[in-house]
Structure 1
Amino acid sequence: MDEREILKRLEALRSEHRDLDASIDALLFAASVDQLQIARLKKRKLKLRDEIAELGDQLIPDIIA
């Protein structure tokens, strides 16, 4: 994966992460709270965060000290 593809993927993941955050907030303030659905969304959000971090690390060159 070249840098341009990584940046494109990162933007898509960040967008999905923001959308999940908004969905979780909306569910928390809804009249009927579905805890299972909220837990699933939070789990997906954590996976996205890990993938974002991994792709971000690929953009930073290794520095040999």
Structure 2
Amino acid sequence: MSLHPLTEAEISEIHAQLHELQVEHRDLDQVITHLIENPPPEDLLIRRLKKRKLLLKDRIIQLETLLIPDIPA
């Protein structure tokens, strides 16, 4: 966590990044579902897409955490 509060510009940038990642995450979810439901699924492609989706989810969580204000101990 940063020791200084985020500026409005930093918060806006994080929100923009979050939106972009959430859209890509949702799109990948739809592609994965389509590939699974419409055989023959390409297992390697599905594994790669699922891995990318997990990486996106981790980054989304990191960015969301930056937006949560620090609570003094």
**Which TM class, normalised by the smaller chain length?**
over 0.9
2:53 corresponds to: 45
Aligned to 2:38: 30
The answer to whether the aligner puts 1:19 opposite 2:27 as a matched pair is yes
Alignment partner of 1:2: what SS? Answer: helix
CA RMSD of superposed structures (Å)? 1.0
TM-score by length of 2: 0.85
For residues 27-53 of structure 1, what are the alpha-carbon distances to aligned partners after superposition, in whole Å with 9 as ceiling and x for unaligned? 001121111100000000000000000
Runs of 4 or more, structure 1, over 4 Å off, are: none
User: In 2, Cα distance between the equivalents of 1:54 and 1:29?
Assistant: 31
Tell me, which stretches of 5 or more residues in structure 1 are unaligned? none
Higher deviation after alignment, 17-26 or 31-40? 31-40
Q: Tell me what 1:6 maps to.
A: 14
Aligned length: 65
Largest Rg, 1 or 2: 2
